[in-house]
Amino acid sequence: MSEARWYVVHTYSGYENKVKANIEKTIENRKLQDQILEVIVPTQEVVEVRNGVKKAVSRKMFPGYVLIHMIQNEDTWYVVRNTRGVTGFVGPGSEPIPLTEAEMRSLGIADIISEKEAPVVIDVEVGDSIEVISGAWEGTQSTVLAINPAKQTVTIEVEMFAGQATSVEIGFTEIKKM
């Protein structure tokens, strides 16, 4: 399996957050969490002065672009390329070219995205019974359906409306093995 790299996707102006949301929904629907690890729209806090009033606002660092941390293969290329609002990957021709670490630093986003995080070791495996020990689902007991080391989450099923089972992601620190 290839290594996950950061790619830049060009979008219609103003569609960055819609593209991010659509790709994240597709990742969930197609169970691609292990191939498309993260989708971000880099922003920075700036102070605007309007009518003499200072106001802190979040502004897109690269309007018209979305960064995607993924393993590039036919499935991920197809999903991203065919997302509404995406005009294509940044790179010559149709082949996406990953960003180098130097490019990430020069863009000023290496500190936002730390590619070399210390691996978190978790003592649960898919199929293990766990209990949620904090957060909205505290006290819930369930079975681990999936583990996402990149996001440091596990996927479990919880009962929501009228006993309907729904998959939710819970952080590694919010669970304990039973």
Predicted confidence pLDDT, tens digits, the chain (178 residues): 468 889 999 999 899 999 999 999 999 999 999 999 999 998 888 777 777 777 888 888 889 999 999 999 988 999 999 999 999 998 887 678 898 878 877 776 665 555 444 445 677 889 999 988 888 788 889 999 988 877 778 899 888 777 788 888 888 888 888 8
List the Cα angle 138/140/144 in 5-degree steps. Answer: 115
Q: Give the model's pLDDT for residue 37.
A: 92
Q: Give the model's pLDDT for residue 117.
A: 45
Residue 128 amino acid letter? D
The pTM of the whole model exceeds 0.75? no
Q: Give the model's pLDDT for residue 115.
A: 43
